Amino acid sequence: MSERTQPVSNRLVVVGQGYVGLPLAVRAVEQGFDVIGLDLDEERITRIGAGDSPVEDITHARLQAALATGRYRPTTDAGDGAGFAIAVISVPTPLREGAPDLSFIETAARSLGAHLTAGACVILESTTYPGTTQELVGPLLEAASGLTVGTDFALGYSPERIDPGNPTWRFENTPKVVSGVDDNSLRVVQGFYDQIVERTVAVSSPKEAELTKLLENTFRHVNIALVNELAVFAHALGIDIWEAIDAASTKPFGYLRFTPGPGVGGHCLPIDPSYLSWRVRQSLGETFRFVELANDVNDHMPGYVVARLVEGLNERSLAVKGRRILLLGLAYKRNTGDARESPSRPIARRLIELGADVVAADPHVADALVPPGVTKVELSEDELRRADAVVMLVDHDDFDTDLVAASSAYVLDTRHCLDGPTVEYL
């Protein structure tokens, strides 16, 4: 791309105003950009436009301040982004029947392409398999705009590392990996994020950046599976896995702490590693055995939690059928209301199939996301005493752990956050 095609304005379009796109849009407004927040979901855009943040990491006050600058415009109309200098795509990348579903990226690229002008830059942030930026997004933008990637517009990939609910590592102080399809694209992409986050880390092409994200998530997925499988065996052998993990964590090198749990959830771990294994299978005809094994182990954890609960009730001469079971936490992890792919869902479903009366408390999760057949309740001493068994699934900070331990007849604690005579650990 020649000098004349360098971005000349600070007009930014962020496509997708979800967990990833909204924090980026708000941060960019705070850093002086003119931002169009584009989303197809009208209800979401209306809500955002009214200053009601649907994402916990962005407070209502912060969103309202961004709107008050007059430089943040949430919209459903792709035409509002015409003439953008930079566009970032942060739309979902789900799996459909085990295969990557890139239709959201395709739609976003086509609609951006229609408004792409020479000198602009497009950056993909959605998690995806290596090759997507160059093999899919570039050609779609070229076809829709009639422009040539590299010559007329810049293109890059920068994975998102947002960790919802993490107060220490926030969007702006987490290093951001950046890449471009050529040297100039990299310069533009890095120049943009240098204004947004404290530190950027350049890699040589989008494929390395795409793989970086999948490596990070596959690493977590595999290590969580390792401790999950170990937890199952340690329990059967009568060994305290939690004490062993604490002891191993005192090793100052060569060990990283991961803890067991009821399974994995969210938009990342149950999905991203499968993007990588799909790519390996499709391109090389090989099986990515670590991913397959980790999927298998982690997928079995909700069933294992139910089996342990049934065992615990049995020891108390109780059948699960007809019992009132209180689930604490429906989100996929602590301090978030994100319940996508949450293990609470298969656990609730199985308990209902077994005839249990399932109630659940989670102050973060919206009522619409409560699993079918489950009644949402407030965590209280009365609810704890009414339950025949309590299952601690998510260690949200605002759960009163002392109250739970003191008032429950029997608790299965999958997070090792409770202490008391009626508490059993995973």
Ligand X SMILES: NC(=O)c1ccc[n+]([C@@H]2O[C@H](COP(=O)([O-])OP(=O)(O)OC[C@H]3O[C@@H](n4cnc5c(N)ncnc54)[C@H](O)[C@@H]3O)[C@@H](O)[C@H]2O)c1
Active site residues: 268
CB of 295 to ligand X, least distance (A): 16
Q: In terms of CB distance, is 107 or 134 closer to ligand X?
A: 107
What whole-number distance in Å separates Cα of residue 225 and Cα of residue 295?
8
> Around 234, how many Cα atoms within 13 Å sit in the side-chain half-sphere?
16
Q: How crowded is residue 16: how many other Cβ atoms within 10 Å of its Cβ?
A: 26
What whole-number distance in Å separates Cα of residue 412 and Cα of residue 381?
17
What whole-number distance in Å separates Cα of residue 42 and Cα of residue 75?
8
> Around 280, how many Cα atoms within 13 Å sit in the side-chain half-sphere?
15
CB of 237 to ligand X, least distance (A): 35
Q: In terms of CB distance, is 106 or 182 closer to ligand X?
A: 106
Q: What is the CA radius of gyration of the chain?
A: 23
CB of 214 to ligand X, least distance (A): 10
CB of 266 to ligand X, least distance (A): 6
Q: In terms of CB distance, is 152 or 272 closer to ligand X?
A: 272
What whole-number distance in Å separates Cα of residue 75 and Cα of residue 78?
8
What whole-number distance in Å separates Cα of residue 288 and Cα of residue 73?
43
Q: In terms of CB distance, is 169 or 233 closer to ligand X?
A: 169
What whole-number distance in Å separates Cα of residue 246 and Cα of residue 258?
10
What whole-number distance in Å separates Cα of residue 404 and Cα of residue 389?
11
Q: In terms of CB distance, is 78 or 202 closer to ligand X?
A: 78
Q: Which helix (H) or strand (E) holds 402?
A: helix 401-407
What whole-number distance in Å separates Cα of residue 172 and Cα of residue 265?
24
Residue nearest to ligand X (CB): 18
What whole-number distance in Å separates Cα of residue 329 and Cα of residue 349?
15
Q: In terms of CB distance, is 14 or 392 closer to ligand X?
A: 14
CB of 160 to ligand X, least distance (A): 4
CB of 41 to ligand X, least distance (A): 4
What crossing angle do the helices spanning 206-237 and 272-284 adopt, rounded to 10°? 110
Sign of CA dihedral 66, 68, 72, 77: positive
Give the interface with ligand X as residue ranges (CB under 6 A).
Answer: 15-21, 38-41, 44, 90-93, 104, 107-108, 126-127, 160, 162, 164, 267-268
Q: In terms of CB distance, is 262 or 273 closer to ligand X?
A: 273
CB of 15 to ligand X, least distance (A): 5
Residue entry with tokens 């019992």:
323
What crossing angle do the helices spanning 60-68 and 21-30 adopt, rounded to 10°? 50
Q: Which helix (H) or strand (E) holds 34?
A: strand 34-38
Retrieve residue 401's tokens. 């752990």
